[in-house]
Structure formats: structure tokens, C-alpha cells
Structure 1
Amino acid sequence: MHHRRPARLLLTLATILTALAATVASASANNVVSAPIADRGLDVYLRPFVTLPLAPDGSTPRVIGMTTLGSRMFVTTEQGQVYEITGGTAVFKWDFASALKAYTGRSLNYDNFQHGGLRSFVFSPNFAQDRTVYTSAQEQRPSSTIGHHYLSDVPNPVSADSVVAAWTLAADGTLQASGYRELFRIGMPVYDHPIKEMLFGPDGMLYIAHGDASVQSAIAGGGMANDGLGKILRIDPTPSNGLNYSIPSDNPFVDDPSLPDEVWSYGHRNPHTLSFTKDGTLIDTEVGRDNVDEVNIIKKGANYGWPNREGTFVHYPWGGIGTGVGELPEDDAQQKLTYPVAQVGHDGPTGAGFIGIGLTGGYAIENGSPLDGEYLYAEFATQGQLFHSNLEAMRHAVTMGDPNDLTQASTARARVYLQPASGGGAWQKASLLDAINDAPTFTGGNRADVRFGRGPGGEVYLTTKTNRIVYLITSTVPGGPGGFGQPRQHLEAEKGKRSGNAGVNTNHTGFSGGGFVDGFTVTGAALDGLVINRPEAGTVRLTVGYTAGPDGPASDRTLGMYINGSRVGKLVMRRTGQWNSYSVTTVDVPMAAGANEVGFHMDPDTTGWVNLDFIEAETAGATVPLPPAPAKRVEVETGAFSGIARPGTQHAGYSGTGYGEFFTEVGAGVDGLEIPRTVAALTTLKIRYAAGPNGPATDRTLGVYVNGTRAATAVLPRTGAWTTYATANVNVQLPAGNNLIGLRMDSGDTGWVNPDAIDVGAEPEPTPTPTPTPTPTPTAMPTATPTPTPTATPEP
């Protein structure tokens, strides 16, 4: 077993200051990256921004990315659909999967569910003139390769290729067969680590990330070979010399027989995401194998070492966590390899294979917001921890040369706060998954599966494959909440006094500090001696980190909570599903000035069956007001239909892409029409509909449902013709948060209505309440209504 070389961190003013922050998560004994993941006191707030409709096949859209065109924003899904965020709604724009099938006879490939389908979508920098968009995708391999240009191929390819294609839109912005142009293909030896994200650089060139096709194998499938695998590619999409693209003359390997002309950098394993900073620095996040994930600054012609290197370690073609890597040799500088600017190690049992995290990026925040100067990234394959590194520290990291001189920027874990919450506040979440699974549209699972997108103002959005919601990270908006504050008082549970059956353990990974306290399965098990110091008496909010796995009662878990020896109530904790799935709960407790001893006991009236990880203390009531919800139109055709109801398009005059029809028998309905509110209030819903000559001669009625409960009856006068639309108002009480609205034909309703859309007005600005230390409401927060596109830009 090779000894671990201590990672040297770049000491900038920022990192020196952050050394004062308490460490809340350190590397386990098997984590080869010895530098701890620290808490630098960064609070990051996010809130739901818009919800996508269900995919055409009724499934949850697996959002894979975002892109912009001027002030307009678009989201991309693996299923092949692209939506525009406009008017408070995600509006369907294009279906590349259907277009590909119609124009070529081939389909997007999903043999690997995690890596298949549409991977990214971007606009041409000259879209106003050429009306061209570009896609990268896993596509069905053609039965004959004649007439297709392969950048590289393999002897025994699978039935899927990585493909970059251009689509020139018609004048009305629709996809057209004559506009399809295939730029190149890359043959794949397996269904894994294919083409990933691509984007245009400041130089107008198209940069494309491609994985190594390694099937998570210790024997890598690519990286340094003479092919397109494990590379960052750079092309000019302008046709030239018989190709549907050109080779930039300043590419580093032009006319080099060892690598394709298209290669910009090589030695990559699974480069997931690419982004540029304002000064043109290209950053990628890269998923390692068993031991280390990387954040790299991509340099022209650089070799990043895979499959011979993983992070700042030698990678072996055998072994697993802690055993699959070793120290760099003293003469490593002779290899002229480039190493990460930040790295995150994996935790787990010695020798275990591929059970670690996977990183996704990520953007540098450079817009004067509370997160300005930080690079934001996340772990997506499990709980979704949110990380950040200082951008200047990344730029100054030493990534080449003598192993003893290599440095990395430190990785820190951000605290996640979800807006809105009951009462309009913002509350801490244990992870991004803990925030995502609060949504009623969450499909389940134990993967966060998050990605990031950047808006027109440099603000950052969070997307996920699991709940259809795009979140705005409000801390990346100038004037938004969050940022660096005073570190909370953090206490590790294993540092307290244990009695009864309580003890310290480390057998369930994911804990912070040096372990957790378990044994709360027998009455009398107790943890005491966790001392919180307060400058004055008052209410204190305690955040308790814990896990509550499948053993024990199926209900919420409880422990008695004690302050200075007196029981103050029960601490209630939701089950977490697995013992290595950690969560947090918050509770407000009174404390005296000075030292306060906190304890947790399994009393006769409590359930126990929890493991305690840590506690943090802060002054209670420090919530952030939410900006009022904007006006919004929800298109009925985007909802989930039931009974015989379905979307329709035959009667002109509808808004959006259609309306709902066949509300003609009991059980017909549409649900899942989301209307967010920041505060509970009586709200007027304006229902746009048509009620033609068929059906009863009286006014028509439908039941209006709020979050699954019938709340009102919509009375909808006849409109005379199915192409004549009208609006009718219905008042319903909406609670704070995301509300799911439904329209159903119940027994006693007449039906015979085609509902088209529901409009809701903007919430009023709150009346300020003077306080000695007010928390300002952000004034520049984006809404889901972008600024109109300049008229010189064609309608896409």
C-alpha cells in the first residue's frame, strides 16, 4: 500500500481566511485525497423557477442542460425535447428525437440509460444570420457507414455512435429535413462515457467533451489513443474540404499523426461539463473511477493523464478505493502531464469498486452576486452535495511539474437552503437531493442527478432528471440572499458524552467529522455534553445531522431533547431510507446566556433508531423573504390527463400548443398544473376555455382541485363555437409553496368544456415591516419572463 502524499493547498488570502472556519467533513481513512472538505461558511439559496410538462410519452423529462439566446433561456432533455422558458412557463419548442427519426430513419439511443439520448444543444453564434443550432447525442448507428464521416471508429462497435449535428431552422423557426447536417460520428466500443456537453467559445469555435468509453473498467477505453475518445475536441462548424466542418488551423495537433486534428486536449476519462469564465478560461468537471474526481482548467494541447493518472495519483489497472492508485513518481515532471486545479476523493470500504461520487459543473460566478468569485459544482450520483472552490485559487493552482510542487484549490461544502417553505421562509437542507425530493413531482430514487445552467445575467440555475423543476440559485443573483457569513457553531456528535447503549461508529459512510453516535435502540441510550455558547439568552435554531435507516419503526423517529439537563421536547426525524443516507432537521429551543449543554436521550416515549452525526447552532428566525411570485399562465395541455380527457389541437384559437378536450364523462380530468405562491392567500384563477354547441344548453361546470382536493366549482358559460374562447374567474385558497391545480369532471358536473389555460396574477409586493436590522428583499431577482428578444434575431 502506497503512502498518501498530503495535498498542498494554494494559500491565497481567501484560503488563509477560510482556515478559521470549522471543518465539518474530513477524508475517511480510505480517501486518498487527504485535504478535508471544509465548511467555509457559504450559504446558498435556491427556489423553484419553472416546472416542465411531462415528456410526450408521459415520462418525467430528464433535464440535461440549459442554453441561452440573448435574454431567452432554453432547457434540454435526454428524451430529445427542448423547451423555452417564457411567460412563467416552460413551453415546448422542438423535438429533435422525432425530427431525427422522420428525417433519417434513425433514433436516439438509450441502451445506457444514464448516458444515452440528447446530450446538449447550443445556438450558433451567428444564429441571427444562419438560423442554425447544434446537437450532440447518442444516436443509433447506421446500417451502412457509407456517406457518414467518422472522426474515429472502433473494430467492434456497439449499435450507438456519438454524433454532432447541425440543424438549420426554417424561416418560421421549425425543424426541417433539408436543414439537417451531420458533422461527424465517433464509433463506440461500449455504451458508456460517450459524447457529453459542447459549447461555443469566445473565439467562435465549437468545443466538445467526449468520454473514454471505459464501462467503469479499471482498463481504460481511451484517453491517449489516436481517436476521439477521452478528448476535448475543437472544430469550426463551417463546412470545408469536403467535410461538414473545418479544422481550426491553430489546433495543437494539426498534421500530428499521433492524434486527430480535432483534438484540443486529451487524457480525459469522463469529462461531463464545460464552461468558460469571462476571461476565456475553459473549465471542465471530470468523473474519476474509484478514487478521485477532478476539476480541470483545460489548456491547449495538454495531456490530463488518464488512464495512467487519476487526480494527482498513479492509476493502476486493478484495485478499488484506496488500492487502485498510488503516489506519483519523483520524476513525474518528465511526463509533462497536467493535473487538476481541484479534486474530490471517494469514501468507502478498502478495495470497493465504483461506489463513489460523480462531479458535475459548474460555473464561475462573476456578476457581483453573493457568490461572486466562487466556482460552483456538485456531486450528482448520490445525495448531491454542493461544492465550491475559489476561482482565483483555481487559476493559481500549480498543475504541472515536480509532484512536490503541485497545488490545488480547496474544495468546500456549501450549506443549501430551499425557498419557499411554509410561511415564506428558507430552510436548510442536508443536500441537493434533500431539496429536490420535497417537490410533489419527485419520481423517487437516491440520486440527485443534478446539472447546472447559466442565465443571461450570469445567474446560475439547477436542473435535475428527477422532478421536472428548474431551480434558480438566488444567491447567484446580485442582491440575492446567502453568501459568506459567520460560521455557525458546529459540534460533532462523537465529541459528546455517551451513556447507556450509545457509542461511536464509522461503518456507514457519508458522515462528517470522525464518525457518528449510534446505539439509540435501547431505552437509556444518551448523548450529552455538546456545549453551545450564546452571548445572550434567546431562541436558538439547532440543525441536527442524522441518519435513520430501514431498521426500526416505519414511522418518523424521535429522541428526547435536553437543554442543561432538562427535557425541552422531542426531536422528530424523518426516515432516510438507508443508514448511509444523511439528512438534517431543525428545531428552535430556548437557551440561556453563556454555556448551554445539549443532549439527546432515548426515553421510554421515544422511538430511537437514529444515528446522530452533528449539531449546528444559529440564532432562530434568520429566514430570507421571498420575492412575490410573478404572473403566470399555465397551459392545460402540459398537465397530466386522466379518464378519456386528452390534449387537442383541432379547434383554432387556443394559446400554447393545444388545449384539453373530451371532458364529456365522469372521470375525465387534467392535473399537475403548477402555480407557486410565496404566501398563503385567496387567489383568482382565470380559466380560458371553449364551450361549443354540443352538450347541455346550460352553463358548463368542472371541479377545480388544489393539491388533490376539490376546492371550487368552475362555472363556464357557453361560448357558441369550439373555436370561440372565453375566460371565467374562480377564487381558491392557495397555500404557500408549489400548488398543483386540476380540472375534473365529477359526478354532478356538466363537462363539455375544452379548457385551454389558467392565468394567475402576480402576488402583491409585501408591505415592509420596519425592524432594527431588516433583511433586504432582492430587487434584481430574475423572473420566468425574459426580456423580449431584439427584432434583429429571427424567431427560432
Structure 2
Amino acid sequence: MKFYHLIILVLFIVSCQSETKQKLGHTISLKPESIKKGKAIFEQKCSHCHNFKQDAIGPNLRGLTRRVETSWIKQFIKNPLQMVADNDSRATQLLETYKIPMPGFKDLSETNLDALLSYIHKQENQKLKNNNSLDVIKETIKDTLQYSHLVAELEFVAQAPATTQKPILARLNKLDCAGSSGRIFINDMRGSLYELRDKKVEPYLSLIDYNPDFIHEPGLGAGFSSFAFHPDFQENGLFYTAHSEPKLSKPSDFSLPDSIPAKIQWVVKEWKTKTPNKNIFKGDSRELLRIDFVGFMHGIQEMGFNPVTTKDESDYGMLYIGVGDGGGVIKGYPQVAQHGGSQIWGTILRIDPMGNNSKNGAYGIPPENPFVKQALLKGEIWSYGLRNPTRFSWDLYGRLFASDIGHKIMEEVNLIDSGQFYGWPIREGNFALNPNGNQSLAYALPDNDADYGATYPIFQYNQKDGVAISGGFFARGEKFRGKYIFGDIPTGSLYIGDLFEAKQRNLKKLKVSIHGKPTTMSKLTKSSRVDLRFGQDCDGNIYLLTKSDGKIYKIKENLIP
């Protein structure tokens, strides 16, 4: 009898364990109205980092609610950093794997949390198939980057106004010289353009006051992303901005192909002030172009003028615009970026803002652009095959460089040439991808790689050293002369690249110090997510911007005394 009872007890325990496992997510509602509401929340707050097909910035969420306790998921969504601080094993493992700490959503009500989980729970557990017959490369770069013997000594410059509370105090995105004026401007993606004067961040223009449809949610790339002052700003008062608006706000100049649904629009505007010397903008604006995007991420993140060209050269006054793929590839629309120049997404545009031979008549298409005379291609395109071009910089020879944020394999810096294809979505770094499968998997380049015509990065690093490249600038001073200094957005790591050493394209990490004491950007910001950006003033000094605390630093001794 005892043996019989033991068997019954074991079967009961196993049954209970199995039942507990099956019950994961059993309290989650699958009512259609809850799923519909949850989908809207997911697309606004989660879709830029997560999907249900493959790992992205964050993990694939398909089947999550059937693997993890509902209470844990809710707690993690509310305050993931606190769970890491409390040494929760699952939260810690997620941070170690994906490197980027997830922002908390304390503002989500219990009702909205339940709706969000309803939508996630609706997605069935499914493993994405590998559609490439080649072997997956598990380790793209074996060794981590070494540190340079050089150290960047930082000087605190200014504190930006807070536009919300932590974890992102001020969404500082760019610092740049205002053309011929010698002035320095900075933007906050929540809608403000500031001037840096006497180590103070002073308001100059609020985009919200002039654009009633302006939005800066769901965060990350949305909002007031970039600006560029015309080289002759001091004389003509012209500058340009890029910002996001809701889908269908106005008819777009570039609509998505094949009935692909749009989620957001990006708008490029020209601003003209009659008083360029004034500290507050007063003037008019006009729209140059408007583009539909399939997702909230990878919009128009950068624009700029070549600062070293002269008035007698054809590149003078030409506006370069970085257009991302809108997340189209990871959302299952690889044709958005895989187009050979026939579409506008995943490109760098080059336009003449003072011309009028574009289709909408609001800007000009320069005659030396590579695809001007090809009827089926977009004349605005200067180069293509870029996933998310986030920062431009020109060296003293007038060569254009662009950083490109990768998906999961490589972060890139590319030397941009007219008409060149930079690989996305069939390449990331020096590796092949399957654009119709799991883009998180890397493959060796095929034997006939030259047939694809891809141009590869001059610098690249993988996720052993960083997660999302910020882009940077070429130093002009004695200490770092000619070297490209840039960094990684979430981790705050700094890098220094040298194109002219005997070992070509040498890339190393760059140490930082402040007041003569070694430190890191994470320590300075007291945050595990630094949100680092770079800027350069009219004299060539390089600046660091940290969104997490809204501070501005300058790298000292950059210029020749």
C-alpha cells in the first residue's frame, strides 16, 4: 500500500507541475476589444524594439506569456531597471544578452497593461525558420576592441533644460555649427531648438508652436530629429529641420509601395529668419518634402551641408538627408529597402533646397546626382543600402562619412560615394543576411559577392563592444588630428578610428577622464543607458551629449592652441 501511495503522490506532483506550467497566462483576457487596444499600445510603445518574428533590439516576444509568469512580465514592463538592481536572474540575463536596458513604463495603467498582454498572448509560439542553406556564423568578431593609449579629457559645458523626468531627461540629439554665423545650436527631440551661448542652453525655436501635428512619441527616433543651417545662414537666414507627424497628416511626396501600411510621416522643412543675428527665431517656414514610413523607427535621423566645400564647387549648399528603412525589413517588407535606387527608403538623399525641379516643385534635384537620368530610379538619391543612417561628418578633404545602426550583427561607419550600394538588407558589415528570414543570423559572403556590388564599412564593431552606433566627427587638433571619434548610443562607449596608420582602418576604444580622473560615460550619467550623441562646433571642437541627464561635455585639447 505504501508503494502504491508513493506512486499516486508522484503522479499527483507531476500533474500539478504540468498543470501549473499550462496555466501560465491563463488569467490573460483574449477578448477582441482588449486585443485591439493592446495592439495599439504595442505599436506605439514596444514595436521599435520587439516583434513576433525574431530577436531585434530586444527579444522576440512570440509565446512570452506562455513561458513567463504574468506577474513577472507586468513588473518588468513597469520597472526593469529596478529588477536588475534587485538581482532578478531573468532581468539580469536579459540585460547581459541584449546590452540595452529596457525603459520602464510606469505610466501604463493596470487596464492598459492587461490589454498589452492580451495582444502579446494572442501571438502563437513559433520558431522562425532559417531559410539560408549556408552555415550560420556564430562569432562574427572573436576579439573585443583594445583601448587606445590616448585619453579624451572632458570638460563639462552646460546643462540642458529638462523636458521630462528620468530616465531620459532631455532628448538631445545633435549639436552643430550654424553655417557662417559661428554660432552653436542643439536640438531636443521633444521639439526645441536651442542655442549654446556662454555655456548656457537658451531657447531659439519651438517646432511645436509652428507644427500642430508634431509628435515625439513613441520615443526613440520620433520627434525633432535633426537640423542643418545653410552655409550662408548669416546672410540668407535659412536653416532646415526634420520632424515626425502622424500618418496621413497630409498627402506625402513618397508613399509606400504595394499598399504597405504607413505608421508615421517624416517632414523636412525650410525656415527663414529676416534677423539671423537675433537670439529668438522670428520668420516663416515652408515644407520641402514629406515621406511615409512603415514603422516609427529608422525615419529621417540626419541632415547636413558639406562644411568644407566652397562657393565655386557644385556641392556648395546641397542638403544631404539620411532616410532610414522605417523598420520595413524586420516587419516583413524587405522590398522597402531592397530596391536598387527605385525607392526612397534606406538612402542618403542630396537635394538643392533652393531649386524647384523636383516633382512637387519645392526643391531641386542636382544634375550631378547619380540617378538623375534613369527614369525608374529616384533622382534625389545620392547612395543607398543603409538601414538607419544616423550621423554625417565630412573630413577636411570633403569626403562624406555616415554611421549606420545595424540590426544585430554589425555597427558601421561608411565612406559615402555617389551611387554606391552599402549592402542593407542583404549585407550587414562584412556578412551576408537573408532579408526574407531571420536578419539576426550572419553568413559568410558568397563566392560571387562582387556581383552584388556592395560597398563595405571602413569601421565596424559587433555587440561585444556596443549595440547602436552614434556616429562622430574627425578631430582637427594636435592630440587627435585626423582621427574619427565616435561612440555607442546605449553603452556610452567611445571609439577612435585611424584611416592613415600603417594598419589601415585601425579601430580602438577611447578612454575618458574628467578633472584628470578616469571615468566612463555610464558613471558620469549614473545610468546603465547613457544615450550618447556627438556634436562639433564651428572651430572643430567635439562635444558629447547625454540624453539620460541632459548634459553637454567638450573634449578638451582637441584644437591646436
TM-score, normalised via structure 1 length:
0.48
Deviations 1:670-702 (A, max 9, x none): xxxxxxxxxxxxxxxxxxxxxxxxxxxxxxxxx
Match of 2:319 in 1: 206
Please say if residues 51 and 90 of structure 1, whose CA atoms lie closer than 8 Å, have aligned partners that are also in contact. yes
Match of 1:387 in 2: 495
Match of 1:414 in 2: 510
Asked whether 1:264 is paired with 2:264, we answer no
Match of 2:175 among 51, 54, 66: 66
Match of 2:541 in 1: 459
Deviations 1:64-113 (A, max 9, x none): 10121332211111011111111231111111122222xxxx22x23431
In structure 1, distance between residues paired with 2:202 and 2:164: 13
Match of 2:445 in 1: 328
Match of 2:237 in 1: 131
Match of 1:55 among 156, 163, 170: 163
Equivalent residues in 2 for 1:292-331, closer than 5 Å = 292-317=410-435, 318-319=437-438, 324-331=441-448
Tell me how far 1:123 sits from its aligned partner.
1.3
Equivalent residues in 2 for 1:184-195, closer than 5 Å = 184-195=289-300
**Secondary structure, aligned partner of 2:211:** helix
Match of 1:432 in 2: 521
Tell me how far 1:40 sits from its aligned partner.
2.7
Residue type matched to 1:229 in 2? W
More helix per residue: 1 or 2? 2
Tell me how far 1:57 sits from its aligned partner.
9.8
Uncovered stretches (5+) of structure 2, i.e. residues with no partner: 1-136, 310-314
More strand per residue: 1 or 2? 1
In structure 2, distance between residues paired with 1:347 and 1:35: 8
Please say if residues 308 and 315 of structure 1, whose CA atoms lie closer than 8 Å, have aligned partners that are also in contact. yes
Match of 2:467 among 353, 357, 360: 357
Match of 1:698 in 2: none
Q: Taking structure 1 as reference, are residues 192 and 215 closer, same or farther at Cα in structure 2, changes over 3 Å only?
A: farther
Tell me how far 1:272 sits from its aligned partner.
1.0
Please say if residues 366 and 372 of structure 1, whose CA atoms lie closer than 8 Å, have aligned partners that are also in contact. yes
Q: Taking structure 1 as reference, are residues 372 and 212 closer, same or farther at Cα in structure 2, changes over 3 Å only?
A: same
Residue type matched to 1:223 in 2? A
Tell me how far 1:246 sits from its aligned partner.
0.2
Residue type matched to 1:207 in 2? Y
Q: Taking structure 1 as reference, are residues 86 and 213 closer, same or farther at Cα in structure 2, changes over 3 Å only?
A: same
In structure 1, distance between residues paired with 2:372 and 2:417: 16
Tell me how far 1:142 sits from its aligned partner.
4.4
Match of 2:208 in 1: 97
In structure 2, distance between residues paired with 1:171 and 1:475: 34
Deviations 1:363-410 (A, max 9, x none): 011233x111211111112x21111110325xx99xxxxxxxxxx613
Residue type matched to 2:463 in 1? H
In structure 2, distance between residues paired with 1:320 and 1:337: 17
In structure 2, distance between residues paired with 1:412 and 1:80: 35
In structure 2, distance between residues paired with 1:392 and 1:248: 32
Q: Taking structure 1 as reference, are residues 91 and 379 closer, same or farther at Cα in structure 2, changes over 3 Å only?
A: same
Match of 2:267 among 163, 173, 194: 163
Please say if residues 268 and 289 of structure 2, whose CA atoms lie closer than 8 Å, have aligned partners that are also in contact. yes
Match of 1:470 in 2: 552
**Secondary structure, aligned partner of 1:243:** coil
Q: Taking structure 1 as reference, are residues 326 and 123 closer, same or farther at Cα in structure 2, changes over 3 Å only?
A: same
In structure 2, distance between residues paired with 1:159 and 1:390: 40
Match of 2:395 among 277, 283, 292: 277
Please say if residues 164 and 170 of structure 2, whose CA atoms lie closer than 8 Å, have aligned partners that are also in contact. no
Residue type matched to 1:389 in 2? G
**Secondary structure, aligned partner of 1:191:** coil
Range that drifts further, 251-260 or 202-211: 251-260
Residue type matched to 1:391 in 2? L
Asked whether 1:85 is paired with 2:196, we answer yes
Equivalent residues in 2 for 1:186-265, closer than 5 Å = 186-201=291-306, 202=309, 203=315, 204-214=317-327, 217=330, 219=332, 220=334, 222-225=336-339, 226-241=342-357, 243-265=361-383
Residue type matched to 2:244 in 1? Q
Residue type matched to 1:77 in 2? D
Tell me how far 1:144 sits from its aligned partner.
4.5
Please say if residues 320 and 348 of structure 2, whose CA atoms lie closer than 8 Å, have aligned partners that are also in contact. yes
Equivalent residues in 2 for 1:659-738, closer than 5 Å = none
In structure 1, distance between residues paired with 2:375 and 2:442: 31
Match of 2:287 among 160, 167, 182: 182
Equivalent residues in 2 for 1:566-645, closer than 5 Å = none
Match of 1:483 in 2: none
Residue type matched to 1:358 in 2? A
Number of residue-to-residue matches in the alignment: 405
Match of 1:726 in 2: none
Tell me how far 1:128 sits from its aligned partner.
2.8
Residue type matched to 2:554 in 1? L
Please say if residues 329 and 337 of structure 2, whose CA atoms lie closer than 8 Å, have aligned partners that are also in contact. no
Q: Taking structure 1 as reference, are residues 87 and 244 closer, same or farther at Cα in structure 2, changes over 3 Å only?
A: same
In structure 1, distance between residues paired with 2:145 and 2:250: 51
Q: Taking structure 1 as reference, are residues 218 and 296 closer, same or farther at Cα in structure 2, changes over 3 Å only?
A: farther
Tell me how far 1:39 sits from its aligned partner.
2.0
**Secondary structure, aligned partner of 1:166:** strand
In structure 2, distance between residues paired with 1:189 and 1:280: 34
Match of 2:485 among 366, 376, 380: 376
**Secondary structure, aligned partner of 2:472:** strand
Q: Taking structure 1 as reference, are residues 44 and 227 closer, same or farther at Cα in structure 2, changes over 3 Å only?
A: same
Deviations 1:253-291 (A, max 9, x none): 013234211000001111111111111110111111111
Q: Taking structure 1 as reference, are residues 222 and 432 closer, same or farther at Cα in structure 2, changes over 3 Å only?
A: farther
Q: Taking structure 1 as reference, are residues 175 and 311 closer, same or farther at Cα in structure 2, changes over 3 Å only?
A: same
Query: Highest CA radius of gyration, 1 or 2?
Result: 1
Residue type matched to 2:477 in 1? N
In structure 2, distance between residues paired with 1:260 and 1:94: 33
**Secondary structure, aligned partner of 2:209:** helix
In structure 1, distance between residues paired with 2:143 and 2:399: 25
Uncovered stretches (5+) of structure 1, i.e. residues with no partner: 1-28, 349-355, 398-407, 420-425, 438-444, 479-779, 781-796
Asked whether 1:287 is paired with 2:398, we answer no
Q: Taking structure 1 as reference, are residues 99 and 57 closer, same or farther at Cα in structure 2, changes over 3 Å only?
A: farther
**Secondary structure, aligned partner of 2:378:** coil
In structure 1, distance between residues paired with 2:170 and 2:255: 31
Match of 2:253 in 1: 150
Please say if residues 184 and 196 of structure 2, whose CA atoms lie closer than 8 Å, have aligned partners that are also in contact. yes
Higher relative contact order (CA 8 A, sep 6+): 2
Tell me how far 1:45 sits from its aligned partner.
1.1
Please say if residues 214 and 221 of structure 1, whose CA atoms lie closer than 8 Å, have aligned partners that are also in contact. no
Q: Taking structure 1 as reference, are residues 475 and 298 closer, same or farther at Cα in structure 2, changes over 3 Å only?
A: same
Residue type matched to 1:470 in 2? I
Please say if residues 370 and 419 of structure 2, whose CA atoms lie closer than 8 Å, have aligned partners that are also in contact. yes
Please say if residues 84 and 91 of structure 1, whose CA atoms lie closer than 8 Å, have aligned partners that are also in contact. yes
Range that drifts further, 47-56 or 188-197: 47-56
In structure 2, distance between residues paired with 1:320 and 1:210: 20
Please say if residues 329 and 335 of structure 2, whose CA atoms lie closer than 8 Å, have aligned partners that are also in contact. no
**Secondary structure, aligned partner of 2:471:** strand
**Secondary structure, aligned partner of 1:40:** strand
**Secondary structure, aligned partner of 1:150:** coil
Percent identical residues: 28
Q: Taking structure 1 as reference, are residues 144 and 74 closer, same or farther at Cα in structure 2, changes over 3 Å only?
A: closer
Q: Taking structure 1 as reference, are residues 377 and 56 closer, same or farther at Cα in structure 2, changes over 3 Å only?
A: closer
Tell me how far 1:357 sits from its aligned partner.
0.5
TM-score, normalised via structure 2 length:
0.68
Match of 2:151 in 1: 43
Residue type matched to 1:66 in 2? L
Please say if residues 218 and 316 of structure 1, whose CA atoms lie closer than 8 Å, have aligned partners that are also in contact. no
**Secondary structure, aligned partner of 2:454:** coil
